[in-house]
Structures are given as structure tokens and as C-alpha cells.
Amino acid sequence: MNTRLDRWIPFILLIGGVIVPVVGWLVGVYLLFRSNVWTTKQKVIAALVLPFGLLPAFLVFLTPVKVVASNSTAAAAGPNYGLIVVWIALIVAPVLNYRSLKRSLLSNSVNR
């Protein structure tokens, strides 16, 4: 059965870890596995795609980056492309997970 709470589960998985670190995401996973809207496969993928939702991206964003001088002269520090790629992946994976869960939720509610 598609309940009002089921509509919030993808959002809780995405944002819950940022609002209440770790615990918020764990509540989302608990609610996800208690729901009968999604298949077991969808639940496992949703829980393992990127644990803790957007929390890792938030933490990487807040992590200070060291600027290192080269040969005692200040080198022009360019952007750290590796960190940028990681940060984008940490955002894209949970957002795609969210969209997938929402799409399944909507299609299940239409099919019933």
C-alpha cells in the first residue's frame, strides 16, 4: 500500500543524513525496508548506492584543501579536478537514486 510516509522515504534517504548525520539516513533505510512499495532489489540498491545520501558530498565540500607552494615560490593553485569529480559523483549518485525511487513510487501508485 502506498502511504503518505512512502512519499517521503526517498527524500529522507537523500537529505536525512545531512539534517541528522547518519541517524537520519538510517531512519530512511529502516522506513524503506518496512515499506512494501519497492521490491527487495530496489531497496538493496537504494541503500547501497551511496550510503548516507548527500552527507558525504556535504562533508567533502566542507573539507579544507591545502595550497602547496612549489620551490619556495607560491605556485598558482588551480582547481583540484580529482576532488571536483568526486564531489560531483557524491551528488549525482544519491540524486539519481532519489529519482529512481520516486519514479517507482509514482508508477506503483498509477498501476494500483
Grid cell listed for 110: 498509477
What is the distance between the alpha carbons of residues 112 and 89, in angstroms, rounded to a whole number?
35
Q: According to the model, what pLDDT value does residue 67 have?
A: 61
Q: According to the model, what pLDDT value does residue 57 have?
A: 87
N-to-C CA span, the chain: 9
Q: According to the model, what pLDDT value does residue 107 have?
A: 86
Radius of gyration of the chain (CA): 18
The CA–CA distances, whole Å, from 40 to 23, 50, 79, 88 equal: 22, 17, 41, 28
The CA–CA distances, whole Å, from 43 to 23, 83, 109, 110 equal: 18, 29, 17, 20
Q: According to the model, what pLDDT value does residue 43 have?
A: 93
Which tens digit of pLDDT belongs to each residue from 14-32?
A: 999 889 988 999 999 999 9
CB 97 within 8 A of CB 44: no
Question: Which residue ranges of the chain lie beneath pLDDT 70?
Answer: 1-2, 65-78, 109-112
Q: According to the model, what pLDDT value does residue 111 have?
A: 62
